[in-house]
Amino acid sequence: MNYQTTSFLLSWIVFIPVIGVVAIMCGIALCYPFKLDKKRFDNITRTICLISTSAVFILSLILWKFFDPQSLSIQFIHRFVWIKSFNIEYFLGLDGINISMVILTAFITLIAAIASVPWWGEHNENHFTSKMTPGYMVLLLFLETGMMGTFCSLDFFQFYIFWEIMLLPMFFLIGIWGGPRKEYAAIKFFLYTLVGSLLILLAMIAIYYTSTPVTLADGTLADHTFNIVFLSQMAKQGTFIHASPIFAIAFTKLVWICLFVGFAIKIPIFPFHTWLPDAHVEAPTPVSVILAGILLKTGAYGILRFNFGLFPEATSFFASGMAIFGMINIVYASYVCMAQTDLKKLIAYSSVSHMGFVLLGFAALTPQGISGAMFQMVSHGLISPMLFLIAGVIYDRAHTRDIYAFGGLASKLPEYTGLMGLAFMASMGLPGLAGFVGEILVLLGAFPVFRVFTIISATAMIITAAYYLWTIQRMFLGEFNIKWDGLKDLNARERIVLYPLGFVTILFGVYPMPVFNLVNKALHTLISTISPFAG
């Protein structure tokens, strides 16, 4: 197969945010000699950020248009040798596994960028949207580059670099623009993810030294490689299965576990999930949106790309274990949700619960399970941003997120209540909305393989309904709490971000095939390489 550069589109998508960053930096440099007004310069940086993210989004739609889902080969390749001495290549490409995530990332980052613009009409100096705006925008754009690069990289080393690039902006975004306990949350997030990164790094080095010679992009022969496409070909030929054990543990199994734990922290999977509620509660709304909408998916994507792609035999071996952890995530987190009184914390735990479905779907290794899991990633990537935006709306106004502090808001904020109802219903998996499709397919696909686990997981549907409806009842129904008489309903900016998300949620709920058309073939081929090892 020939993997030569066919398009620079992906490089543009990955690095357009960096161009935005450079523009903002130049602006900062010009700011001092020309004594630009701070407020005006803030607006300029916001505009630059919006333009960059919009450009990325438009390019991602072009990708969607020209992507051929029937072809199993990598598309939109941009490849050259990057660091010759270590055989590291620069290799961007799309296939059915990452295309949906790339489009989702572009969309959600745009939403987050819009949500970072301050409340039009009212200007609050203490609000995160007005605090050190240029720095915030720079970090947001860097974050987008990190995420895009993570999804598009087909070279393990390059993937790892982007994986780490994601980490730093997130750390500062939480640590500087966050809530009262932002330092604790940011450091917890950073250290936790760093542990995961370390495991991935070790696994990467182990894989590198096990790989067999390949031809690099410039035609030279290399002893080892980080190229994921070549690595997965080696996996099919059994290179890794026959590798000598480490510490008397089979090579594939040890490396699989390292990778899995590294990615599991990001998803997050019980018991590595406790950084998530803290990070979410302290993070400003748009950062929560990105964190829940995309960052969690990088972990799941990593499992698909590396654990599934490189170690089919170990994946098959550990499938039941994955299913158990998926089930624990689903059920355990849904009960924990019920106990929360902080709206954002509740939503954060619901993310943990919903990502459990992704893991369960992966573990099933059936077409319905894996397609459902991928769809769950997309639908969760649409619904959880909506939920966090909704939590942000009320926090901006009331400066509290305590569920018990409210009551009867429905009569005061009808539009907000309606959208919140839509988001909650979508998240609890109401048929006809996007959340349902993923969940039902995961369960349908998992049932033939893990009957008891699936039935136990399905009962979480009841608990999920219970905590959402209970929340609606406590916040929006009943007698109106007169304390909140001054609250206003949605403003234009909030409408701009919430309505598109709501619309897509409904659209994919009744017509999910556009997503499946993109991913089905690649995913089913992926699991068909694993199924020979089953039983």
Partner 1 sequence: MANGSYYNSFYLIFIPLLPLLGAMINGFFGAVIQTKLDKFYIHFVAIATVVTSFVLSLAGFIKLAADDSVLAIYTNAWTFLSIGSLKVDVAFILDPLSAVMCLVITFVGSLIHIYSTGYMKDDEGYWRFFAYLNLFMFSMLVLVLADNFLVMFIGWEGVGLCSYLLIGFWYKDVNNAKAGVKAFIVNRIGDVGFVIGIFILFWTLASISSGSGAVYTPGSAIHAPNSYASLVFADIEKTLQDVSIRQVFVAKTLFNIPAVTLICIALFIGAMGKSAQIPLYVWLPDAMAGPTPVSALIHAATMVTAGVYMVARLHFLFALSPFAMTWVALFGAVTALFAATIGFFQYDIKKVLAYSTISQLGFMFIGVGVGAYSAGIFHLVTHAFFKACLFLCAGSVIIGCHHEQDMRKMGGLSLYMPKTNLAYLIACIAISGFPFFSGFFSKDDILYRAFINQNMVYPGMGILIWGIGMAAALCTAYYIFRSYFMTFTGVFRGDPANLPKESPKSITHVLLLLAFFSAIVGFSDMPEIFYMPNLFHHFLEPVFESSRGLLHFSRGSHALEWLLTGLSVMLAFLGAYAAFYLYKDAESRLPTRLLSFESKPVRWVYRLIYNKYYIDELYHITMVKLVMAIRLIFNWIDQHIIDALVNFAGFAGKLVGTVAGTADSKGVDGMVNATANTVFTAGANLIKIQTGRLRHYLGVALAGGVILVIVNYIFFN
What's the min distance (Å) between Cβ of 466 and partner 1?
5
Which residue among 451, 483, 488, 495 contacts partner 1 (CB under 8 A)? Answer: 451
- Could you give the string, one character per residue 402-421, with x where binding to partner 1 holds by CB under 8 A and - elsewhere? ------x-xx--x-------
Q: Which stretch binds partner 1 (CB under 8 A): 22-30, 216-224, 378-386, 437-445?
A: 437-445
Angle at 388 between CA 444 and CA 133, to 5 degrees: 140
Query: Residues with Cβ < 8 Å from 472, sequence gap 6 or more?
Result: 420, 421, 424
Give the residue from 181, 157, 108 showing the smallest Cα distance to 497: 108
What's the min distance (Å) between Cβ of 336 and partner 1?
5
Number of residues near partner 1 (by CB under 8 A): 72
Angle at 491 between CA 487 and CA 493, to 5 degrees: 140
Based on the shown chain and the rule CB under 8 A, indicate whether residue 365 belongs to the binding site for partner 1: yes
Based on the shown chain and the rule CB under 8 A, indicate whether residue 261 belongs to the binding site for partner 1: no
Q: Which stretch binds partner 1 (CB under 8 A): 54-62, 86-94, 284-292, 526-534?
A: 526-534
Give the residue from 445, 423, 448 showing the smallest Cα distance to 509: 423
CA diameter of the chain: 74
Q: Which stretch binds partner 1 (CB under 8 A): 255-263, 300-308, 424-432, 482-490?
A: 424-432
Based on the shown chain and the rule CB under 8 A, indicate whether residue 58 belongs to the binding site for partner 1: no
Residue numbers 333-362 binding partner 1 by CB under 8 A: 335-340
Based on the shown chain and the rule CB under 8 A, indicate whether residue 314 belongs to the binding site for partner 1: no
Rg for the chain (alpha carbons), in Å? 23
Cβ proximity to partner 1, 213 vs 271, nearer residue: 271
Question: If residue 210 lies in a helix (H) or strand (E), which one and from where to where?
Answer: helix 182-210
Based on the shown chain and the rule CB under 8 A, indicate whether residue 534 belongs to the binding site for partner 1: yes
Cβ proximity to partner 1, 42 vs 278, nearer residue: 278
Based on the shown chain and the rule CB under 8 A, indicate whether residue 530 belongs to the binding site for partner 1: yes
Q: What is the DSSP string of 88-141?
A: EEEEEEE-TTTHHHHHHHHHHHHHHHHHTS--TT---TTSGGGSSHHHHHHHHH
Question: If residue 367 lies in a helix (H) or strand (E), which one and from where to where?
Answer: helix 367-398
- Could you give the string, one character per residue 264-283, with x where binding to partner 1 holds by CB under 8 A and - elsewhere? ------xx-xxx--------
Cβ proximity to partner 1, 245 vs 431, nearer residue: 431
Amino acid at 474: R
Cα separation, 135 vs 151, whole angstroms: 25
Query: Residues with Cβ < 8 Å from 404, sequence gap 6 or more?
Result: 341, 474
Which residue among 80, 448, 488, 503 contacts partner 1 (CB under 8 A)? Answer: 448
Within 405-532, residue ranges assigned H as helices are 409-412, 414-427, 434-446, 451-476, 492-510, 513-530
Based on the shown chain and the rule CB under 8 A, indicate whether residue 198 belongs to the binding site for partner 1: no
Cβ proximity to partner 1, 420 vs 527, nearer residue: 527
Based on the shown chain and the rule CB under 8 A, indicate whether residue 527 belongs to the binding site for partner 1: yes
Residue numbers 482-521 binding partner 1 by CB under 8 A: 510-513, 516, 520
